[in-house]
Amino acid sequence: MAIVAAGKRSSHMKPIDFQTDPSKYRHWRIERDGDVAYLIMDVDQAGGLDEGYELKLNSYDLGVDIELNDAVQRLRFEYPGVGAVVIKSGKDNVFCAGANIRMLGKATHGHKVNFCKFTNETRLAIEDATENSKQTYICAINGNAAGGGYELALAADHIMLVDDRRSAVALPETPLLAVLPGTGGLTRVTDKRKVRRDRADVFCSIEEGIRGARAKEWRLVDEIVPNSKWTETVSKRAHEIAARSDRPKDANGITFNPLARKIDGDRISYSHVDVDIDRARGLVSITVRGPSAPEPASLEAAHALGDQFWPLAVARELEDAILHLRANEPSIGVVLLRTEGNALAVLDYDAFLSQYDSDWLMREIRHYLKRTLKRIDTTPKSFIALIEPGSCFAGTLAELAFAADRSYMLIGTRDGDNRKPAAITLGHVNFGLYPMGNGLSRLQTRFLGEPDSIKIAQSKSGVALEAEQADQLGLITQAYETFDWDDELRVMLEGRASFSPDAMTGMEANLRFAGPETMETKIFGRLTAWQNWIFQRPNAIGEQGALKLYGSGVSPTYNKERV
């Protein structure tokens, strides 16, 4: 019996590719001034990802944000001497009008939500760079920063606003479009910038925004600067902030070359990751391979490997695979996570990263792995880890099993298979180096009510834990004998596919973020629940809804019932 009807591809005209590089940028450019980099937004209004809209006034779509995400990553890896990044506009008297409304009006519901999710992840990467890479972001606003334009500014650690009686910050989504600031605007205003609740209510209810001294008084910006001193003050502030960074001034960066990716029908192959789509069954298998060579002999040798150094290469490839599936395969609801290789080799690489944790590059790689694993946490698909003979769920790759919604492990070996029995091998990285959005490790989240289980698991670090022991320690969902394996998995997958995809998305998003509430979990929780719901309501997208009628001169008609 087929698990689901054949999966459909995304309704987009062409698949969305998340790979790019500065030579292909149409909307951003990077300019350097010593220890300061300027990330300049100069959107090509004819450069939309799809047809049917123009990106006027530095408004953006997913294509603009794909470039931004790439630039943020490259600044961390290719510019080790940069201690501060200034986001500014390349257009006179215009900062950013936010997400393009015509694009939102014509986009499918799924694309709108995925777009908001990706832009949130990009802004979280900016905040992560400030906090963990000591590459502090500053936003220099000349002109209006409306909606997503102000949300971009909110990701920065220091916001500067020109005081010219015209430039303003605004979150006008509610009065104009009948939706919420979808890139975490409400949360960052209250939780990050600590704007008073009543003032935030006023701010988010007016179209024209707030400028000058009031914007600073309300903590919507950090600094206002007269127009006559704008360029000089922005440069001075950026160099002051950069001087406080611990990033090396004379180190050579690591160039990100295009990924070695081959797409052949329903198979996508990378150097260390394979993706196999089974449309008839509505599932996909992602196989991550451990290192094929020993860890480098020295830190210098690791640097010389550049983007081919295994932990960095696998982070980039797995991230690209997850983003591809999220954007282009919305009907594929189940992801089987598999690994192959030598578990001890994975632990050796983990130890290498930790040994040289004070090195800027090793630090960046660890945080890249953290961000890649977080993409799994926020992807609306069911993740099932399959732990079989030949797998290497160890250390960093064991995080895949803990990120999964469920994990199944084979007891013993199959007839004729001379490989060792399946095992999970814990390492030091599993106990805090890859925190989730809730600030806890995946094992801490797993064992919220069982603190002793963490201590017991930690005492088993470095031990190859076979199925029955892993089950006893609570590290897997279920262990099966060989004769039960295929039937049990089939029944489980058929049951999974019989549920409503909407209910599954809501259930998984709720269960994955157990424990403390953080700004990050609030952002994704509100996006998954409230914005997802509002994006489907007639008040926003109906024929008389705000998104449909924006710019027509006709006022929207709202159903006044509150739910």
Confidence (pLDDT) at 13: 56
Could you tell me the two tokens for 143? 């002109």
Q: Do 328 and 182 share a structural domain?
A: no
Sheet with 28-33, edge to edge strand ranges: 28-33, 36-41, 84-89, 136-141, 158-163, 223-226
Could you tell me the two tokens for 363? 């630090």
Q: Do 279 and 193 share a structural domain?
A: no
Task: Supply the range of the domain harboring residue 317.
Answer: 264-511
Q: Do 394 and 357 share a structural domain?
A: yes
Chain centre to alpha carbon of residue 263: 23
Amino acid at residue number 222:
D
Q: What band does 526 get if pLDDT is binned at 50, 70 and 90?
A: confident
Tens of pLDDT, residue by residue over 318-371, are: 999 999 999 999 999 999 999 999 999 999 999 999 999 999 999 999 999 999
When mean pLDDT is compared across 3-12, 220-229, 448-457, 482-491, the lowest value belongs to: 3-12
Query: Is 2 part of any domain?
Result: no
| Mean pLDDT value of segment 159-184 | 93
Domain boundary among 492, 511, 530: 511
Q: Are 168 and 210 in contact (CB under 8 A)?
A: yes
Query: Is 10 part of any domain?
Result: no
Residue-averaged pLDDT of the chain: 94
Q: Do 234 and 271 share a structural domain?
A: no
Give DSSP secondary structure letters for 79-106. Answer: -TT--EEEEEESBTTB-B--B-HHHHHH
Confidence (pLDDT) at 6: 37
What long-range pairs does 230-233 form, CB within 8 A, spacing at least 24? 230/140, 230/142, 230/162, 233/160
Query: Is 62 part of any domain?
Result: yes
| Mean pLDDT value of segment 521-549 | 87
| Mean pLDDT value of segment 256-278 | 97
Q: What band does 1 get if pLDDT is binned at 50, 70 and 90?
A: very low
Q: Do 275 and 188 share a structural domain?
A: no
Q: Do 311 and 206 share a structural domain?
A: no
Residue with tokens 């701010």: 203
Q: Do 393 and 305 share a structural domain?
A: yes
- Of residues 456 and 9, the one with the higher pLDDT is 456
Residue with tokens 């630039």: 71
| Mean pLDDT value of segment 203-209 | 95
Query: Is 402 part of any domain?
Result: yes
Look at residue 3 and tell me whether its pLDDT is greater than 50: no
When mean pLDDT is compared across 142-156, 158-172, 520-534, the lowest value belongs to: 520-534
Number of domains in the chain: 2
C-alpha 490/C-alpha 480 separation (Å) is: 13
Domain boundary among 242, 276, 307: 242
Burial class (CB in 10 A: 0-12, 13-18, 19+), 455: exposed
C-alpha 286/C-alpha 269 separation (Å) is: 10
Q: How many CA atoms lie within 13 A of 113 on its CB side?
A: 23
CATH number reported for the structural domain that contains residue 490 in this entry:
3.90.226.10
Write the CA distances from 216 to 162, 209, 212, 558, integer angstroms. 11, 13, 7, 34
Query: Is 562 part of any domain?
Result: no
Confidence (pLDDT) at 4: 33
Could you tell me the two tokens for 67? 């470039």
Write the CA distances from 132 to 246, 257, 367, 378, 495, integer angstroms. 11, 24, 8, 21, 42
Q: Do 301 and 237 share a structural domain?
A: no
Q: Are 212 and 149 in contact (CB under 8 A)?
A: no
Look at residue 9 and tell me whether its pLDDT is greater than 80: no
Confidence (pLDDT) at 63: 97
| Mean pLDDT value of segment 90-111 | 93
Look at residue 7 and tell me whether its pLDDT is greater than 80: no
| Mean pLDDT value of segment 483-487 | 95
| Mean pLDDT value of segment 389-414 | 97
List CB contacts of 162: < 8 A, sequence separation 6 or more.
140, 141, 142, 143, 224, 225, 226, 227, 230
Q: Are 287 and 340 in contact (CB under 8 A)?
A: yes
Look at residue 132 and tell me whether its pLDDT is greater than 70: yes
Confidence (pLDDT) at 61: 97
Q: Do 270 and 222 share a structural domain?
A: no
Query: Is 521 part of any domain?
Result: no
Query: Is 16 part of any domain?
Result: no
Q: Do 189 and 94 share a structural domain?
A: yes
- Of residues 82 and 528, the one with the higher pLDDT is 82
Q: Do 283 and 182 share a structural domain?
A: no
Q: Do 272 and 229 share a structural domain?
A: no
Write the CA distances from 425 to 346, 419, 436, integer angstroms. 10, 16, 20
Domain boundary among 470, 491, 511: 511
| Mean pLDDT value of segment 179-187 | 89
Look at residue 513 and tell me whether its pLDDT is greater than 90: no
Query: Is 404 part of any domain?
Result: yes
Three-class SS string for 476-523? CCEEECHHHHHHHHHHHHHHHHCCCHHHHHHHHHHHHCCCCCCHHHHH
Amino acid at residue number 178:
A
Q: What band does 497 get if pLDDT is binned at 50, 70 and 90?
A: confident
Confidence (pLDDT) at 529: 83
